[in-house]
Amino acid sequence: MVLRSGERKKNLEELRCLAMMMVVALHFLGKGELLGDVSTAGMDAVGIAAWVPEALCIVAVNLYMLISGYLLCESSFKLSRLLKLYLQIWMYSVGVGLAAGMLGLTGAEMDTHYLLSLIFPISMGHYWFMTAYVFLYLLLPVVGMAVKRMTKAQLKLALTMLLLAFCVLKSVLPFRLEEDGQGYDCLWYLCVFLAAAYIRRFGVRFLEKRWHCMLLYIGGCAAVLAELFVFRAVYLRTGSLGLILKISLEYNHVFVLVAAVGLFGWFLLGKGEGIMGRGAAFAGPYVLGVYLLHENIALRYEWQGWFGAGEIRSVPELFLKLLAAVICMFIIGVIVEWVRTCLVRMLGRLLSGLKCWQSLMVKLERADRIFVEKGGSELS
């Protein structure tokens, strides 16, 4: 399962696109208030049915980090890449946030906190996933170099200890751990990063067959759903387990991780051919824009209503509107990001003649070479 130059790019882009569609589905179901309340006995058919796609899509965030870890573990830290990412986040944060506010498309109050969240999207946690991702990328000069030098036994032991502390323990104990970040922090994504690095460097024999991978994914998602409703039954009968009713749907739960690794392995072993592969290869570089658009603080609780989330009365209607919302938001997000990318490129060409811009580019190239040259000389 070693990735060679140019290999499996379409496979990973297919998975990247699927993961983003899953993210949109999760936000439609959760923030559209379609998931049934598991703490009450009166769930209707729509509320119960909504938990099925929720369980199937809960792997999305871990998939994104597995892809990132798989690719980044063999690459060098680049300051230019970090700055481009921050600029991308900032443009969406400020641009969409202010535009939606001025056009009256948001129900959020445009107070001081709102404006600070737009201006400082990482530090203010505007996009929690991007905050965790940027902090993890800042650790890449240390973590990446360490991973490249670790033996199989060393990496395996380190990964085992981390997963025991941040995943397995919370998954088996019948109470809530005070320090459990529920998979919303940089520490958890460090665990997932190392898992992806281990898969890339040393492989996992069980993941070498696609049916094994699909078994992990389906089995993990089924276990997530089963635990949810078992805990619900216990809670309704005894009143206990109230704090951990939905713990199986947290990103750092062992079932969610197992399911994510399974689906990741399934795509990793695929060929990425045909129209799906070509489409994913085109859309892949732009899919982050889907997240930055629909999860902007101005729109994150608004766009679900555009697709009639609050008017769903039957299970078929639920799945039809869910599918429509996912497809439409994905296409819109890709188009917006493509346009933004073109505008940034045009601006770069206009600035390329300025001496200050040329000087800045030279300094960035010099900064990028620091880690490449140092890492390369020590590894040679």
**Over the stretch 195-242, which tens digit does the pLDDT of each residue have?**
999 999 999 999 999 999 999 999 999 999 999 999 999 999 999 999
* Close Cβ partners of 339 (under 8 Å, ≥ 6 residues apart): none
- Residue 161 tokens, joined: 């200890």
66 with 261: CB under 8 angstroms?
A: yes
Residue 8 has what pLDDT? 45
DSSP-derived letter for residue 110 is -
Assess whether pLDDT exceeds 50 at residue 53: yes
Tell me the one-letter amino acid at 227: E
Cα distances (angstroms) measured from residue 349 to each of 128, 343, 344, 354, 357: 32, 10, 9, 10, 10
The predicted model scores a pTM of 0.92
- Residue 265 tokens, joined: 């392995």
Assess whether pLDDT exceeds 90 at residue 323: yes
| Local confidence band at 380 (pLDDT 50, 70, 90 cut-offs) | very low
- Residue 290 tokens, joined: 């889907």
Model pLDDT for residues 276-296, shown as the tens digit of each residue:
888 898 999 999 999 999 999
- Mean of pLDDT values over 79-97: 95
Residue 171 has what pLDDT? 96
236 with 172: CB under 8 angstroms?
A: no
Distance, in Å, from the CA atom of 61 to the CA atom of 68, rounded to the nearest integer, reads 11
